[in-house]
Copies of this chain bind each other. A is one copy, B any other.
Amino acid sequence: MHPFDHATALDGAASDPLRSARASDRYWTFISPFGGVSAAIALRAVLEHPQREGDPLALTVNFCAPIAPGEFAVRTRLVRGNRSSQHWQVEFTQGEGAEPVLAASIVTAARRPSWSHPVSAPPPLPAWESLPAFPNRKSLPWVAQYEFRFAEGAMTLSDTVPEPPRSARSVLWLRDAEPRPLDFLSLAAMSDAFFGRIFQVIGRLPPFGTVSMTTHFHAAAEELAAHGSAPLGAIADARVFHRSFCDQTGELYGAGGQLFATTSQVAYFKV
């Protein structure tokens, strides 16, 4: 079993509104599991549900509190369904009677054929083989689960805060370190797999944590399946660092240059 499938596995019957999952050691970050894996668990609870129709269209994950090591309950609810879309909510709680540690909303929709017009283009990237692999083995556990090949904006730490601050933009290839065919679960996780922009901009690792992340999916299931386990072309950037919070945006492109997902998040930082 691939480490990602192990980390995102749910116990209990797929139709059960209350299932459980476990915080993954292998995707551990500073004080909690990697948020992308938590997002994927919420999405998996919906995608496995027998009432689910259509492909994921929108996912918002609110990280309410750190998830501690061990098990957590996963509560899934179909808020509203209609002919072409469904609105779901998922909450994680840890401990009897506790308040949620994570709350997500997920929209699924029928991706019917239509007029198509790709506005944005994939980033110009040298061949995967020609770029050095980011040294991911001495970092946090979750980082070692991905292979990053940066063409621009690789994170480098420095003793002093650069003046002016570095660019927040990164352009890279991104894939699971142990290759795995792309699906909506791994795409959701990879939409959170950009290093916090604050690290890159100031060259240090201050206290940091994503508060809310939204990912929009722009492809149908069979388009992701056709991509296979090739790396995704990715761009990450930020628009503002202000009053203890910053944003982060991302675009993820498939092998044929198709835009698969866009994402934006707000994160806390202390500098």
Contact = CB atoms under 8 A, between A and B. Distances in A.
Contact of A107 (B120, B212, B238, B270): B212
Interface in A197-229: 201-202, 211-212, 214, 216, 218-220
B211 A85 contact: yes
B80 A65 contact: yes
B114 A100 contact: no
A128 interface: no
A202 B145 CA distance: 43
Q: How many copies does the complex hold?
A: 2
A168 to B, nearest CB: 6
Interface of A: 57-58, 60, 62, 64-65, 79-80, 82, 84-85, 87, 89, 91, 99-101, 103, 105, 107, 109-120, 165, 168, 201-202, 211-212, 214, 216, 218-220, 237-245, 247, 251, 259, 262, 264, 266, 268-271
A265 to B, nearest CB: 8
Contact of A239 (B82, B238, B259): B259
A168 B119 CA distance: 8
